[in-house]
Structure 1
Amino acid sequence: MHWNSIATALALSASGADALLRFSCSQLVLDRLDPLVNPGSAPAPHLHQIVGGNAFNITMDPAKPPPTQATCTTCTFADDFSNYWTAVLYFQAKNGSYKRVPLKPNSGFEQAMGGMTIYYTPYIGTKQSVTAFKPGFRMLIGQQGYRTKEEAQRFRQLTYTCLQTIMTRTGETLDMPKSPCPAGIMTNVRFPTCWDGKNLDSPDHTSHVAYPSSGTFENNGPCPATHPVKIPQLFYEVIWDTTKFNDKSLWPASGQPFVWSQGDATGFGNHGDYVFGWKDDALQKAMDTNCNINCPALKTQSIAVGNKCANKARVHEDIDGWLTELPGFSSGDHKEGMRIRK
């Protein structure tokens, strides 16, 4: 796999890391499914954008790991059949109608069909060993119902970047940008980096993992005694092409017009989900060999091949026209924190 110098510089400046994987995963499907939070529900309450292996389904049995079920992946590391997903961003116009915001490829991955950029970082600065995720492992970060800064600060590494150019990597905020962003809005989804060493999941899909007990992963903060096992920092960069909505005459008088698909116009409900699905010990090999962008220890495929891997949506509904309600919502069905604009 070959990465241009711009992408390499971007990855290193974005993370400050001495070792990491950075790769593209094209869009697999946009669908109202969530096998982690709402297994068995079709439809789930709100729309998601999903990347990774095509074993993604209404229900995903932890006893049947994705590599044993998938036949392809949208990711450039061909042994990665994991699934990564987030909510979907919508623009709400002055008249109250909604339009889905398309995804935009990241620098170095211009041929990708939307999707997201995935990072796995084993360490920052000081070389150390990390334990790769195990078959059946899954987790989420963030809470879809959060609507205040105080709530969002629990997940201090869920942020937004108002892109001045595709290379912008400064000025992260916990809430949605309030002004038009010249190159789009990037959501940054960084997962906890400490594991209890026992549970592959937990009832809230969060309690089995934790942040460092002091400091952060980036400054080598120690893991708490309750979660002593260091795991890689999993990090999503998702770029939303908000540029076609930058005409402020279309914006509501109340200001910021972007709304997550679960009905959050504050941005504090930013969240991401993960189901591990690397084949065999491929991820552990990559972490042990301290791959830096390129990883000769891993099998790769072209972005064009990844683009061909796709699932058909299970929930049949209009998600792309000008909508009077978000998918999954109906009149009077808005949750607290949903902005109703007239």
Structure 2
Amino acid sequence: MNLLSLYVALALASFSSAFWRMECHSPIGMARIDPMVDPGEVSDHAHTIHGAKNFNFDSKYDDLMASDCTSCRVTQDKSAYWTPPLNFMYPNGTTVAVPQVGGMLAYYLLYGDNVKAFPKGFVMLAGDKRQRNFTLPVPDPPKSNWGREDSTQSALAQKALGFNCLNYNKNPPEATLYRHFLPDKEYLDANCPDGLRLELMFPSCWNGEDTDSPNHKSHMAYPDQVMTGSCPDGFDTRVPSMLFETIWATDAFNGVDGQFVLANGDPTGYGYHGDFMMGWDEGLLQQAVNTCTNPSGRIEDCPLFDLQTEAEGAMCTMDMPKQLKKDDCAGPREGLCGNVPVQSGPAYASEISAGNTEVPPPPPSSATSSASIPVLTYSPGTNMPTDKYGGGVTVANVKPEPTAGGEFYPAAEPMAPSPSSSSLSSAESWAAPPPAPSPAPSQAPPEVQVENRPSFISTSIYTSNGAVYEIYIQQVDVTVTATATPISRVKRHVHHHAHEHHA
């Protein structure tokens, strides 16, 4: 049996779940804009924005839908996706945005029964920009040992952040959502030669009524295992489980003095956050939820989607408001965009006023992190690279555990995207730091060199005897006989792992 036949055979098996992976390879801009949290005024910190062109201080659903382009590959998706960029701060206070590799992937994971499309006008926020500590044990205990304190909404929200140390020579790599903090510079230099993948899981349990709430969170809730599991009372409607994934080339600064800090002044990572503003035709999105169930996750495998090329998406950029023309959030610049102070915690960070449009003065040269960053030993997951943009949903190999309501879900690390990368294309070159202004840092931002990584042409998930398997197909000229050959003998070309479920 050749590999193509093997793939076809497995594709006929029953699948544990379905999803699609929205590719947004280019941002529409980087700016201090947040129409949800700071409507009508300049936001207190910068965001990297992907999606529909009509993103501004007052953007709402109708504005996004009226956009004549999007930076994402599915042209019907006029949603907006935004997160704070990662910055590198030199000892003298000069900052540059860390180059982003491959843009953003936004996963639409269809967990649970009777998943409903986001309604018109729907928005939500995940994370807390002022959080500066983790209030639970480090590392996470196995989910089979979770107590009541592990499943509170506060705990689940803190566990919904991931900082994945990328090392493509480790097989398998770290599991998704394993580390909930930004590793310090020394750790990154020593252990993460291929950069850092930031992961953000959104709540997927909806109250079924409100499209927004005062804090942009309380109309939503996390299921009791962060990504999967049972929804709490009053939040019985399942919507697509959203996961944002971005890869940052922290390896470009290997050996350079300084520290990494998020645009909201957070050197710990605990304050990572993101926003989603729905920009789909509601009927089309429901159709996609119902029919785009190919387990490959490839948008090309959904016939409903109209696709554009990466180059076409890269041509879509937002109109920068005149108040922000001098911001230069990508840098090099003095301090963080908006003069955001670096606050290390562990105390809850102070509120920063929005609306500052003045060019900020240089920050104190002593603006370094004093946060106590935990050190976690390497903990491999069971995922493998599946494409050059870091995408691919996989499962962890863990003991099964029951959940309320008789449903069966992953018991440890949730279904996770796999790390991978490629050389920066012209679409991403905007993020590469230009030469530093005077006074220049002692070491100028290095050129980013990202080598090609292994890629696979497709993935497939199937179930058998209570186990979930993911198959990775790499395009090679090889034939495998149909005899009972152990899968390990062809693992160079077909990568296979399992996650047990209760039968």
Q: When the two structures are superposed, what TM-score results if normalisation uses the length of structure 1?
A: 0.82
- Counterpart CA distance in 2 for 1:170 and 1:100 is 26
Match in the other structure for 2:96: 99
User: C-alpha distance in 2, partners of 1:216/1:206?
Assistant: 15
Q: Match for residue 175 of structure 2?
A: 170
Task: Report the Cα offset of residue 159 of structure 1.
Answer: 1.1
Match of 1:237 among 229, 245, 256: 245
Deviations along 1:123-144, one digit per CA (max 9) or x if unpaired, are 2xxx732001011000000010
Match of 2:64 in 1: 66
Structure 1 unmatched runs, 5+: 9-15, 106-114
Distance 1:290 1:84 in 2: 21
Output the CA distance in 1 between the equivalents of 2:330 and 2:213. Answer: 34
Residue 367 of structure 2 aligns with which residue?
Answer: 340
Gaps of at least 5 residues in structure 2 are 8-14, 137-153, 350-365, 370-503
One-letter amino acid of the structure 1 residue matched with residue 45 of structure 2: H
Deviations 1:237-295 (A, max 9, x none): 11111121111xx334xxxx110111000110010001000124222111111422221
Separation in structure 1 between the aligned mates of residue 211 and residue 174 of structure 2, nearest angstrom: 32
Match of 1:264 among 250, 263, 266: 266
- Following superposition, the deviation at residue 169 of structure 1 comes to 5.0
Alignment of 1:316-331 (within 5 A): 316=325, 317-329=327-339
- Alignment identity in percent? 34
1:186 aligns with 2:197: yes
Task: Tell me the amino acid that sits aligned with residue 147 of structure 1.
Answer: R
Whether the aligned pair in 2 keeps the contact of 1:282 and 1:298 (CA below 8 Å) is no
Q: How does 1:97-136 map to 2 (within 5 A)?
A: 97-105=94-102, 115-123=103-111, 128-136=113-121
Tell me the distance in 1 between the aligned counterparts of 2:330 and 2:304.
Answer: 40
Map of 1:111 onto structure 2? none
Deviations 1:197-226 (A, max 9, x none): 0000000000000012x33433xx121121
- Quick one: which amino acid aligns to residue 330 of structure 2? D
2:379 paired residue number: none
Equivalent residue pairs, number: 303
Q: Does 1:304 align with 2:311?
A: yes
CA RMSD for the aligned pairs?
A: 2.5
SS at the partner of 2:99? coil
Partner of 1:283: 285
Q: Rg: which structure is higher?
A: 2
Q: CA deviation at 1:303?
A: 1.7
Partner residue of 1:21?
20
Alpha-carbon spacing, 1:122–1:308, altered in 2? closer, same or farther (3 Å): same
Q: Given the superposition, is the C-alpha separation of residues 24 and 265 from structure 1 closer, same or farther in structure 2, using an over 3 Å criterion?
A: same
Asked if structure 1 preserves the Cα contact closer than 8 Å seen for 2:40 and 2:58, the reply is yes
Amino acid of the residue matched to residue 128 of structure 2?
Q
Higher-RCO chain (CA-CA 8 Å, sequence separation at least 6)? 1
Secondary structure of the structure 1 residue equivalent to 2:193: coil
